[in-house]
Structure 1
């Protein structure tokens, strides 16, 4: 039954990946996959490599861009199954461990929406799997495998560093700490992780440590305590992990932590700490800042494993039959209701004609760029312009995606700190030619234009709609008398990544 459910849900994700147009961040990461840069300002390069893997098979299609996430989900489930099998030897616990992700919207559907978090998940779980193998075998060479997967996790997203407290507790709290502290393997594992992570370190050393400084803004920004952002964080976890699943997993984690630290059992310490520390950290950040919906995504699969193992261990610990039946009942409710919720969300986006959330819809808010692209193409045809300019990375990414087969260069003329080491977009076809500027109102009147000597001639306005709901209005201008500068000085307002990092944090709060 579990295998049939997984097969059906995999088909569901394939349909979603094929049917829903790319969102702005997905298109942005797709532009990365076309570059040879070692790393990028916003994130490490793994997501670009994952997209390149999918597009090498299916081409530059929505399925090609998202296919890596579907594979990542299956790999994650295989690793969860083996972790739970090794710890419990209970087939029902194994089935539960692979079905719980299917019942969580984060994974049952949104693993088909590519993001750095999606690339991180299988490597993070693989690191936990390696440490479980280490605990069971006592073979220090598993430290090296853990170091490899730790490096690959960091190549996916910097939040992987939040597993460090769990690994430290796994090493230091159990009675074996003396043995491993005297062993070379944990130290070699750190070396392996650093070597694997070295492309990011090299790129940052060449670019003024840009990524770490950019991400540091989010880690240190403080706008004062806000009940709204706390509510957003808790609500998102209920919605994306599951309204019944989240309490079930948190209870399982609490019991696992109690068991692990009371008896100094390494794996229980590892699994519980790997989730509870990031969960509490994000809760603390939510007091003053909106936590992104995918930021905690990397930790919950470990929580699913811990909850499944915890349920299998209850009979051997002398818990009452009533308590055990209650646990099984609520887990079953969590899985059944969660899968039903994922299917309903899938049908809403793929088959339903309504917009029930208006501009707040997380998918609909980034839909409708085809309307903007169609009007931009008409403007190109009318004016003889040869290239498209934007002033925000979302519009840039969607225009580049939607014009990918038309040979029209698309350039974001500011925020050039995002595009360090990117290839030439085709300047020979830009110099001396008019361009079409596409900008969201009122951003099209931003102060960046004070630094651009181009002549702007208003052409048209176009509305971006999703299911009849107006999302945004865009202005189209003709640009003449100017050629964009791809590599402005770092103190130029057209470079501006430091300022943009602060603006990002403010936008997340609003």
Structure 2
């Protein structure tokens, strides 16, 4: 209670100085993220994007190119380390905070503290605390969407500001170059320009912005056109899945999961704010949000909506919540306490949770030791090649760079990486995930640990005449 009293008193003493407190808030979050980025080992998907950065090109079968360029920037400066892979993400999150701050002040100019409230809400979300540390396509996506909102807010305040419309288009195009879901913003923005009743479609600015967005996504379209539209078909094909008998489960997981990751209090503030802006100049936030909500709802009728997909919805939600002006002290502090607990567990493993209940350990712990053990097993049998079917496992083993061992991937997505050689050998050690099969005594296996607690088991066998792609 004493600590809570001190925090509340400090909050009241600083809430009138929004710029100072907003900067301080960003500084604390960046500091925590620096520690987490340096000390939490890479997860397999990050290692996969690291491999992309070794083969820079204008597109990949899973996502557009931006995340690979982000990783390459960081590793050029800091080497092939967890911090190097995540470095550009740390910078982009700090910039996103600034864009959110200034966008809020433009959308709600009559509210003096709205910029600071937007930053507090963003940094109070559990998803921002934990979801933007790993280097994924969501990291550059969030920064470019925040930048697009900032430019859009300026463009709407001065209807003839064609330069701001151009910047909005450039930002939105770069967001699409980060992740295809940014296209949903284009749907909402086109609807707002054409149907909101403000006559924006008569101005040069929105059309110029659309042209700029089109120019920015040309590299992504060019790569898809030269690879049989593989990226667009892979991502778009998910929308065709249909399992209505499980819709209740999928939609329930989506609702409860997002409520927990945004935190219930902040989610409530954002939804109320989104409803209240429907008749104001900030109604564009609602126009941007509705297409995404509809798509995620329809997808949830047939398949699971992954938690990180909803990142594209967060920037307008945060601004709407800040514009609502409700009490956010408790909401932000609740999120801060939750974030602190998650960081503490991730960095120290204070609670001896089983791997099934500790997703951070399940994804990040014990990879270096596992790679050493696999390399030892291979060399003991005279093999110099380790064969892996799963792309994520192959990527994380390749990142560990086991001495004297080549990693061969069997997944067909490696064929889309330029310069990835195909090889064939007489004999190799094959490894695959055996999940939690720790007690099976009749299986040749290695295990991954966090401290002394087993996290995952991996089955080993000898494969004759395998062929695939040499990813390392």
Q: TM-score range by the shorter chain?
A: 0.7 to 0.9
What is the aligned counterpart of 1:201 among 218, 221, 224?
Answer: 221
1:92 has 2:76 as partner: no
The 8 Å contact of residues 71 and 86 in structure 2, kept in 1 or not, is answered as yes
Mapping for residues 113-132 of structure 1, pairs under 5 Å: 113-132=134-153
What is the aligned counterpart of 2:429 among 436, 450, 463?
Answer: 436
TM-score, normalising length: structure 1:
0.81
2-structure distance, mates of 1:363, 1:471? 11
Which residue number in structure 1 is paired with residue 3 of structure 2?
A: none
The 8 Å contact of residues 440 and 473 in structure 1, kept in 2 or not, is answered as yes
What is the aligned counterpart of 1:416 among 412, 422, 429?
Answer: 412
1:155 has 2:177 as partner: yes
Instruction: Give the CA deviation at 1:309.
Output: 2.0
Relative to structure 1, is the Cα distance of residues 254 and 225 closer, same or farther in structure 2, using a 3 angstrom cutoff? farther
Instruction: Give the CA deviation at 1:240.
Output: 1.1
Mapping for residues 166-245 of structure 1, pairs under 5 Å: 166-177=188-199, 180-226=200-246, 227-245=248-266
The 8 Å contact of residues 368 and 466 in structure 1, kept in 2 or not, is answered as yes
What is the aligned counterpart of 1:26 among 46, 59, 66?
Answer: 46
Mapping for residues 244-283 of structure 1, pairs under 5 Å: 244-257=265-278, 259-260=279-280, 265=281, 268-283=282-297
2-structure distance, mates of 1:253, 1:431? 57
Instruction: Give the CA deviation at 1:357.
Output: 5.9
2-structure distance, mates of 1:341, 1:357? 20
Deviation digits for residues 296-335 of structure 1, max 9, x if unmatched?
Answer: 0122122111221232xxxxxxxxxxxxxxx32xx11111
2-structure distance, mates of 1:340, 1:54? 30
Equivalent pairs counted in the alignment come to 442
The 8 Å contact of residues 384 and 404 in structure 2, kept in 1 or not, is answered as no
Relative to structure 1, is the Cα distance of residues 168 and 433 closer, same or farther in structure 2, using a 3 angstrom cutoff? same
Instruction: Give the CA deviation at 1:41.
Output: 0.3
Relative to structure 1, is the Cα distance of residues 134 and 482 closer, same or farther in structure 2, using a 3 angstrom cutoff? closer
The 8 Å contact of residues 170 and 213 in structure 2, kept in 1 or not, is answered as yes
Select between 147-156 and 278-287 the one with higher mean Cα deviation. Answer: 278-287
Deviation digits for residues 205-224 of structure 1, max 9, x if unmatched?
Answer: 11111111111221111122
TM-score, normalising length: structure 2:
0.87
Which residue number in structure 2 is paired with residue 142 of structure 1?
A: 164
Relative to structure 1, is the Cα distance of residues 130 and 2 closer, same or farther in structure 2, using a 3 angstrom cutoff? closer
SS state at 2:297 partner: helix
Which residue number in structure 1 is paired with residue 396 of structure 2?
A: 398
Which residue number in structure 1 is paired with residue 342 of structure 2?
A: 345
The 8 Å contact of residues 372 and 463 in structure 1, kept in 2 or not, is answered as yes
Relative to structure 1, is the Cα distance of residues 83 and 210 closer, same or farther in structure 2, using a 3 angstrom cutoff? same
Which residue number in structure 2 is paired with residue 461 of structure 1?
A: 445
Relative to structure 1, is the Cα distance of residues 47 and 85 closer, same or farther in structure 2, using a 3 angstrom cutoff? same
Instruction: Give the CA deviation at 1:353.
Output: 3.2
What is the aligned counterpart of 2:353 among 356, 367, 371?
Answer: 356
List alignment gaps of at least 5 residues for structure 2.
1-20, 436-441
The 8 Å contact of residues 384 and 434 in structure 1, kept in 2 or not, is answered as no
Instruction: Give the CA deviation at 1:355.
Output: 4.2
The 8 Å contact of residues 459 and 478 in structure 1, kept in 2 or not, is answered as no
Which residue number in structure 2 is paired with residue 490 of structure 1?
A: none
The 8 Å contact of residues 42 and 418 in structure 1, kept in 2 or not, is answered as no
Instruction: Give the CA deviation at 1:471.
Output: 4.0
The 8 Å contact of residues 169 and 269 in structure 1, kept in 2 or not, is answered as no
Mapping for residues 285-434 of structure 1, pairs under 5 Å: 285-311=299-325, 327-328=326-327, 331-356=328-353, 358-366=355-363, 367-403=365-401, 406=403, 408-413=405-410, 415-424=411-420, 434=427
Instruction: Give the CA deviation at 1:128.
Output: 1.6
SS state at 1:37 partner: coil
Relative to structure 1, is the Cα distance of residues 335 and 357 closer, same or farther in structure 2, using a 3 angstrom cutoff? farther
Relative to structure 1, is the Cα distance of residues 5 and 482 closer, same or farther in structure 2, using a 3 angstrom cutoff? closer
The 8 Å contact of residues 169 and 270 in structure 1, kept in 2 or not, is answered as no
Indicate the RMSD between aligned Cα atoms, in angstroms. 2.5
